[in-house]
C-alpha cells in the first residue's frame, strides 16, 4: 500500500458520467511521487516509479511496487485529461506498458518482495494491483482504440477472480465475495484494496458490456455494503477486519470517499448513509488522535 504518505486523493464525481475519469482522483498521488515522498530516486533509468519500502523485518529497499505504478499511471492520465499535458500522457503510456509487461502467462503481476507483518511470501499478487492495472489498461484501450489492451485487462482479471488458496486473490465466505489486497490466511479484507479492485471490474464491465464481469462487480460491492458496520470502531474506521486498530487518518478519508463514489455508482443507499457517518469523524482530528490512542491501549491490554 502506498497511499498513506500521499496528499489527499479526493472522490472524483466526474467519473460517474465520464468513464475516462477514475473514481478517486490520483493526481495528488502523482504529485507526491514526483516530490519524492516515497523514496529517492523516485524513478528508475526507464522512467518507472520506484518506492522505498521495508521488505523484511530489518531491510529497506528501493523496489517497483505495481500499485504505485498503476496509481501513478492513473494520476498521469488525469493530468492529461484536465490539462492536455503531453508529458503526462507519455508517463501514462510508459507505466501502462510496464504494467502489461509484468503480466505473466496467467495474468499475475507479481510482487517480488516480502511485506512486513503480512503472512505472504514472494511471488505474490494483490487484488488492488490487478484491479488498478485493469483500470489503466481499459483507459489505454479507449485512448488507442487497440483492443489488445482489453485482452490484457481480461488476463489481469483472471487471477484476481481465482481463489486465494489457488494463487489468486478471491475469498468466498457464504454470499460474500472478497478481493484480497493481501491474500493471506486468515483473510484480512482490507477495505480500500477491495474497493479499488472492484473499480477495475466496473471499468472493464463498462468497456466491454460483459454481463459476467458486471455480476462480479455487483457481488463485490454488495459484499462491502453488507459489511460496512464491521469496519466502524466507535465512530472511526478500521483499515481491515483482521485488526481492530483505527485506520490512519489518510485511509479514513480514502474509505469515506470510496463509499461516496460507490453510492453514486451502485445506487445503494447503504453507501450514502456510510459516507455521512464517516465524514464527521474525519473533520475532528483531535478526536481521531484520542480514539487511536485508546484503541491501541486497549489492544495492548488485551494482549497481556
Give the CATH number, domain containing residue 30.
1.50.10.20
Residue 234 lies in a domain: no
Residues 6+ away with beta carbon under 8 Å from 77: 20, 22, 88, 89, 92, 136, 139
Q: Mean pLDDT for each consecutive 10-residue tract of the chain (304 residues)?
A: 57 92 97 94 97 81 96 98 97 99 99 85 96 99 98 99 97 97 96 99 98 98 98 91 88 95 98 93 60 52 47
Q: pTM of this prediction?
A: 0.91
What pLDDT score was predicted for residue 2?
A: 47
The CA distance from 267 to 191, in Å, is: 19
What is the span of the domain harbouring residue 66? Answer: 13-229
What pLDDT score was predicted for residue 7?
A: 61
Residues 6+ away with beta carbon under 8 Å from 304: none
**Grid coordinates representing 284?**
475532528
What pLDDT score was predicted for residue 304?
A: 40
Residue 243 lies in a domain: no
Residue 114 lies in a domain: yes
Counts for the chain of helices (H) and strands (E), in that order: 10, 6
Residue 210 lies in a domain: yes
Residue 94 lies in a domain: yes
Measured between its terminal Cα atoms, the distance across the chain in Å is: 29
Residue 257 lies in a domain: no
What's the number of domains the chain is made of? 1
Residue 151 lies in a domain: yes
Residue 200 lies in a domain: yes
Amino acid at each position: 500500500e502506498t497511499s498513506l504518505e500521499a496528499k489527499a486523493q479526493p472522490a472524483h464525481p466526474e467519473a460517474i458520467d465520464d468513464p475516462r475519469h477514475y473514481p478517486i482522483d490520483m493526481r495528488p498521488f502523482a504529485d507526491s511521487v514526483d516530490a519524492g515522498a516515497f523514496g529517492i530516486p523516485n524513478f528508475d533509468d526507464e522512467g518507472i516509479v520506484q518506492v522505498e519500502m521495508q521488505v523484511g523485518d530489518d531491510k529497506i529497499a528501493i523496489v517497483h511496487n505495481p500499485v504505485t505504478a498503476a496509481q501513478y499511471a492513473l494520476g498521469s492520465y488525469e493530468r492529461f485529461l484536465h490539462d492536455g499535458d503531453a508529458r503526462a500522457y507519455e508517463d501514462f503510456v510508459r507505466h501502462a506498458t510496464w504494467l502489461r509487461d509484468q503480466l505473466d502467462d496467467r495474468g499475475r503481476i507479481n510482487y517480488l518482495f516480502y511485506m512486513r507483518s503480512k503472512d505472504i511470501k514472494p511471488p505474490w499478487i494483490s487484488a488492488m494491483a490487478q484491479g488498478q492495472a485493469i483500470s489503466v489498461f481499459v483507459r489505454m484501450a479507449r485512448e488507442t482504440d487497440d483492443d489488445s489492451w482489453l485482452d490484457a485487462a481480461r488476463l489481469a482479471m483472471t487471477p484476481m477472480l481465482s481463489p486465494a488458496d489457488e494463487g489468486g486473490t478471491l475469498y468466498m465466505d457464504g454470499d460474500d465475495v472478497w478481493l484480497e489486497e493481501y491474500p493471506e490466511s486468515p483473510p484480512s479484507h482490507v477495505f480500500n484494496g477491495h474497493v479499488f479492485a472492484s473499480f477495475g471490474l466496473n471499468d472493464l464491465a463498462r468497456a466491454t458490456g460483459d454481463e459476467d464481469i458486471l455480476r462480479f462487480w455487483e457481488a463485490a460491492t454488495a459484499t462491502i455494503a453488507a459489511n460496512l458496520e464491521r469496519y466502524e470502531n466507535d465512530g472511526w474506521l478500521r483499515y481491515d477486519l483482521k485488526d481492530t486498530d483505527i485506520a490512519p487518518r489518510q485511509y479514513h478519508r480514502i474509505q469515506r470517499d470510496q463509499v461516496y463514489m460507490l453510492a453514486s455508482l451502485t445506487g445503494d443507499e447503504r453507501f450514502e448513509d456510510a459516507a455521512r457517518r464517516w465524514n464527521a469523524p474525519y473533520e475532528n482530528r483531535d478526536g481521531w488522535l484520542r480514539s487511536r490512542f485508546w484503541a491501541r491501549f486497549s489492544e495492548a491490554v488485551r494482549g497481556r
